[in-house]
Amino acid sequence: MKLLYAFAGLLVAMSPLSAQVPVYLDETKPIEDRVEDALGRMTLEEKIAMIHAQSKFSSPGVPRLGIPEVWTTDGPHGIRPEVLWDEWDQAGWTNDSCVAFPALTCLAATWNPEMAGLYGKSLGEEARFRNKSVVLGPGVNIYRTPLNGRNFEYMGEDPYLSGAMVVPYIRGVQSNGVATCVKHFALNNHEVNRHNTNVIVDDRTLYEIYLPAFKAAVQEGGTWAIMGSYNLYRNEHCCHNEYTLEKILRDEWGFDGVVISDWGGTHDTDQAIRNGLDMEFGTGTDGLRKGTKNAYDNYHLAYPYLEKIRNGEIGTEELDAKVRRVLKLIFRTAMNRNRPLGSLCSDAHYAAARQIAGEGIVLLKNEDNVLPMTVEDGSKILVVGENAIKMMTVGGGSSSLKVQREISPLDGIRERFGDKAEVIYERGYVGDTGGEYNGVTTGQDLSESRSPEQLVADAVSAAKGADYVIFIGGLNKSEHQDCENTDRAGLGLPYDQDAVIEALAAVTDRLVVVNISGNAVAMPWVEEVPAILQAWYIGSEAGHAIADVLSGDVNPSGKLPFTFPARLEDVPAHIFGEYTGTWVRDTVDIRYLDGMNVGYRWTDRQKKTKPLFAFGHGLSYTGFEYGKPRISSTEMTQDGTVTVSVRITNTGSREGKETVQMYVGDRKSSLPRPLKELKGFRKVLLSPGESTEVTFTVDKEDLSFFDPDRHEWVAEPGIFDIYVAAASDDVRGKVSFELK
């Protein structure tokens, strides 16, 4: 039957271009006209079918009219392997392996919108080649606590940085005729109790911290889809939340795309009808075992909705609005005849993954210039740690991938240095030996028979004669690490890694710690280790990218997109706010009493405590000198601008990139404000001795705060300070002006 429908659709589509060509198929016609035409041809049942899933990741379109299915896919770091029609398990295809791009934390750490554009374009090409219409990502939930198991999928703690990085990602993906589905809207800032957390947050914090990146995604990125989050806000689930979806997303921001539920995030038929949800996915995903003939008929936006319309309880106004938006999505994607064909696992994609990773790795510390490594014939390099060999692309939840290849850090180091040096490996500790997710296995045997004591002793004895000791550890993608649906138990490194690092530090002064994680970790040994790299989850090219930075082939230029606190007790979410690490059955209120004190907005004000590493921090193998910033005028009118310029010089002997950060501070305001907030950044490439002028334009928007009483952004007259900085804790110059 389905085939017959498809054939009929094809015939309509193929009939010679004449007056009979239906408007909805005529790409020369405005999209709104095509939508109306298609809508007018659809039956009630076809409309209902269009707004809920028919399988784990697809919805049916309208076969009779030749309107194709909508195929979605995770996201956001690579294109997820095909799963069975109604199961989470992979389908076992042999042509669905992908390139894993670096996790979004790494992308954010590049502070380079060009990298985000390259990322989006490349990922979109992979999605397109796999015939997907919607990529479920990127995620821009704010980093509120380092315990959130899903931080690795997001872009850090700062709304401005996340917004600036998400926009080119979206444009890049969508240039392929593939929609992004920006997630998880909104306030999904931890995983434990994610379905039953009711977030209580004041409007100011909501608008200033948790919403701006989503707003940028909608208004600047033009995303064609948004995913509602699992949690509740104002006691309504965010997949059908009147306030976030109707009032903010559609009325205030003018979003014209599709709202997709998170998988299993739809709970109430009436709310799903009225409160902005357009497509329901993942409900009751035990699939065909549930219900009568087709479990998908039980979805809230399936028979229950149909019944309400049939028995006159509700009209079709909301339904038509939803269908219009889905049709628009289809016209923008699968029915866009001009979209490119895409490509999978191309050399260009590997090159992009490696380049982004190289720009995102952050050099946290480099005492005595231990890095870059200078390796001579006969040098001995000892690599220690499970993360040097463990595949990191499998696991972590829905972002898990099946990759065509993944270069391990150890292999990358061997490949780069092996012709000169002897590269030896010691395990050091045993962490997680598993390697399976939804039927995708790494195929690695990580079993180990030595005792923990023996492992440390062996590593220490190997370290004694080594020219360099590279410890590669951190977290992994297992539960309670960096993993969806669980949070971390604490800030510390698991598996007693601290003891291994300390034991190594005691026998060598050429120790480099490479921390693989999507989250901040405690580093009680920070003073004892001369060089530390934050290397994230960087995907297929992990080993190459790490070796690029260790060797100096790539001069590190990443900067932290979130604060590394020294202790969990220094994090406002845990000082003032609420957070529950224990699972509960009922709805649990979580009050964000930490308010806007997220990350550097808090650490900036602390006199007694210092972060381990501040937001925006990241070193280079060269040095940069900042000139005195200059401002175009000491006064600004409400509709005017001022520009701030600063000269940056590369004072070292290597080419390198520096990200110049611009923060704004309001000296006096009617409501308390953070000391300073990021409002601009620019990454520049400079050869040794070269200098360049970096200029920022400041306008009213950069000076405004959200006034909750007036429900609008306000820039109050007064003195503003512009800080030019190399990191949030490394201000290099300040200029001031008065807003009239």
Among all residues, which ones are annotated catalytic? 262
Residue 740 burial by Cβ neighbours in a 10 Å radius (0-12, 13-18, 19+): exposed
> Shortest Cβ distance from residue 293 to ligand BGC (Å)?
25
Which of 190, 130, 178, 625 lies closest to 344 in space, CA to CA? 130
> Shortest Cβ distance from residue 96 to ligand BGC (Å)?
15
Looking at beta carbons only, is 264 or 434 nearer to ligand BGC? 264
Q: For CA atoms 140, 144, 145, 147, give the dihedral sign.
A: negative
Which of 566, 554, 499, 556 lies closest to 532 in space, CA to CA? 556
Rounded Cα distance, 737 and 552, in Å: 41
Looking at beta carbons only, is 151 or 620 nearer to ligand BGC? 151
> Shortest Cβ distance from residue 161 to ligand BGC (Å)?
21
DSSP readout, 20-76? TS-GGG-TTS-HHHHHHHHHHH--HHHHHHHTB-SSSSEE--BGGGTBPPEEEEE-S
**Residues near 233 by beta carbon (within 8 Å), at least 6 away in sequence:** 186, 187, 198, 199, 201, 241, 243, 244
User: Residue written as tokens 């029609």?
Assistant: 85
**Residues near 17 by beta carbon (within 8 Å), at least 6 away in sequence:** 26
Looking at beta carbons only, is 404 or 485 nearer to ligand BGC? 485
Q: Under the phi-then-psi rule, with left for phi > 0, alpha for psi from -120 to 50, and beta for the rest, what region is 616? A: left
Looking at beta carbons only, is 195 or 630 nearer to ligand BGC? 195
> Shortest Cβ distance from residue 188 to ligand BGC (Å)?
8
E-strand ranges in 583-690 read 588-591, 624-626, 630-631, 635-636, 641-650, 656-666, 677-686
DSSP type of residue 540:
G
Looking at beta carbons only, is 53 or 475 nearer to ligand BGC? 53
Looking at beta carbons only, is 130 or 427 nearer to ligand BGC? 130
Residue pair 191/484 in contact by the 8 Å Cβ criterion: yes
> Shortest Cβ distance from residue 624 to ligand BGC (Å)?
38
436-437 and 440-441: which strand pairing?
antiparallel
> Shortest Cβ distance from residue 327 to ligand BGC (Å)?
22
Looking at beta carbons only, is 295 or 493 nearer to ligand BGC? 295
> Shortest Cβ distance from residue 75 to ligand BGC (Å)?
6
> Shortest Cβ distance from residue 225 to ligand BGC (Å)?
11
User: Residue written as tokens 């306000």?
Assistant: 714
Rounded Cα distance, 324 and 62, in Å: 13
> Shortest Cβ distance from residue 445 to ligand BGC (Å)?
28
**Residues near 731 by beta carbon (within 8 Å), at least 6 away in sequence:** 663, 723, 724, 725
Q: What are phi and psi of 528, to 5 degrees?
A: -90, -10
Rounded Cα distance, 142 and 213, in Å: 9
Looking at beta carbons only, is 286 or 730 nearer to ligand BGC? 286
In 3-state terms, what secondary structure has residue 236? strand
Rounded Cα distance, 422 and 466, in Å: 9
Residues contributing to the site for ligand BGC (CB under 6 A): 74-75, 136, 183, 262-263, 398
Rounded Cα distance, 502 and 471, in Å: 11
Looking at beta carbons only, is 74 or 498 nearer to ligand BGC? 74
**Residues near 322 by beta carbon (within 8 Å), at least 6 away in sequence:** 51, 277, 278, 279, 301
Looking at beta carbons only, is 183 or 414 nearer to ligand BGC? 183
Q: Which two tokens stand for residue 719?
A: 């003195």
Looking at beta carbons only, is 358 or 539 nearer to ligand BGC? 539
Looking at beta carbons only, is 64 or 194 nearer to ligand BGC? 194
Residue 489 burial by Cβ neighbours in a 10 Å radius (0-12, 13-18, 19+): exposed
Angle at 696 between CA 693 and CA 701, to 5 degrees: 180
> Shortest Cβ distance from residue 285 to ligand BGC (Å)?
10
Element (H, E) at 575: helix 572-575
Which of 494, 424, 433, 428 lies closest to 455 in space, CA to CA? 428
Rounded Cα distance, 578 and 313, in Å: 41
> Shortest Cβ distance from residue 267 to ligand BGC (Å)?
15
> Shortest Cβ distance from residue 240 to ligand BGC (Å)?
16
The string over 457-487, giving b where at least 16 C-beta atoms fall within 10 Å of a residue's C-beta and e elsewhere, is eebbebbeebbbbbbbbbbbbbbbbbbbebb
Cis peptide bond N-terminal to 640, omega within 30: no
